[in-house]
Amino acid sequence: MKKTLKDMDVSGKRVLMRADFNVPLDENGMITDEARIRAALPSITYILENGGKLILMSHLGRPKGEFKAELSLKPVAEKLSSLLGKEVKKLDDCVGEDVEEAVRGMKDGDIILLENLRFHPEEKKNDPVFAKQLASLGDVFIEDAFGTCHRAHASTVGVTKDLPSAAGFLVEKEIEYFEKVTKNPDKPFCLILGGAKVADKIPLIENMLDKIDYLLIGGAMAYTFLKSRHKGIGASRCEDGLADTVDRIFKLASEKKVSIFLPRDHIVAKEIKPDAEVRTVDENIPDNWIGLDIGPKTIQNYEKVLEEAKTIVWNGPVGLFEMAPFSGGTCALAEFISKLDEVTTVIGGGDTASAINQMNLGNKMSHMSTGGGASLEYLEGKELPGIAALDDE
């Protein structure tokens, strides 16, 4: 096990904490979903209440190593200030003399937010000089940005070379739930996979087939599976060249006694737009029609399977949930899962978490992951560099 925040004495110390404030902004620079900021609050509050001087660092968007005013962390500092009821001082950079001077002037219980790490190309390159500059700001390092733990960057891995390091409460919770579902899940275990690309999910499926009992497939990736079963998929998205891979998955599942469930009916349209003519069709999709969501029979069938489960992990929406006519399947399954008793429900970040947060059902799930890519790699059985770099207990 890794050291956690409670193993660290933060009193009177400069605590350098990596947070994930990569929040969505609208065209006016206003935050449209503050879930990631709220997720960091338990660690922030604990450090401040225990007399630490807190230096927060994060990235936002993809500035590609140069300053972009629209990707400044200023809105995050304002939101944090209002949530904490105290000033969060936002600096104009994350390294340099001005930053060092501001940190030297901190008192116990003060909080500073450094500017966007990715304004510097050295961050993503895990440049040792840049990492040392960041590390010099703190006495201890807390990793609480699960969403970047699968990246070996200066602020996730580099800084741990020079500072005692531990997992914050958010990363501790992520480790706890992903370790449980990948090493010791309660059975029956049901994995729901959706999203666009089969290719992205193959390593995950191969790793999880040893652990799960049921695999429910939806989203655009379902049509590649359906085509391999000789079903009509009309003009639906399909990844050609994956037929052999999909056949191998079915064979492996059969050997491991894992039941794979595919859509039995579909919500289809000829165009991908909110006001398109929409139909419900059975198993075979007619020519020129695109499958964009699972249909009512599929929802009913999937709910029967989910009702039996003691562990549910969900990665990827089962339809094009961003567009109202095609959000029904994702919403119905989320609603159903939220009402189940005595089940461990883990939502694998990214679009799935966004969909569930939009429905205000996040608090009804056992765990809502804050990292899409990181949760995917955890389920693939990969070691996450940002977690591996932390001190062991």
Establish if 384 belongs to a structural domain.
no
Active-site residues, by number, are 36, 197, 350, 373
pTM of the entire structure? 0.92
Pairwise CA distance, residues 176 & 340, whole Å: 21
pLDDT for res 275: 93
DSSP string, 89-151: EEPS-SSSHHHHHHHHT--TT-EEE---GGGSHHHHTT-HHHHHHHHTT-SEEEE--GGGTTS
pLDDT for res 126: 98
Check whether residue 87 and residue 14 sit in a common domain: yes
Domain boundary among 141, 169, 197: 169
Establish if 385 belongs to a structural domain.
no
- CATH assignment of the domain containing 80: 3.40.50.1260
Pairwise CA distance, residues 56 & 34, whole Å: 16
pLDDT for res 33: 86
Structural domain including 207 reads: 177-379
Check whether residue 80 and residue 215 sit in a common domain: no
Check whether residue 276 and residue 161 sit in a common domain: no
pLDDT for res 85: 97
Domain boundary among 169, 196, 220: 169
Per-residue pLDDT of the chain (393 residues; tens, 9 = 90+): 899 999 999 999 999 999 999 999 999 999 998 889 999 999 999 999 999 999 999 999 999 999 999 999 999 999 999 999 999 999 999 999 999 999 999 999 999 999 999 999 999 999 999 999 999 999 999 999 999 999 999 999 999 999 999 999 999 999 999 999 999 999 999 999 999 888 889 999 999 999 999 999 999 999 999 999 999 999 999 998 898 999 999 999 999 999 999 999 999 999 999 999 999 999 999 999 999 999 999 999 999 999 999 999 999 999 999 999 999 999 999 999 999 999 999 999 788 998 998 899 999 999 999 988 899 999 999 999 999 999 999
Which tokens go with 100?
Answer: 């060092």
pLDDT for res 207: 96
The DSSP call for residue 257 is T
3-state secondary structure of 311: strand
The residue behind tokens 């690309």 is 197
Check whether residue 42 and residue 141 sit in a common domain: yes
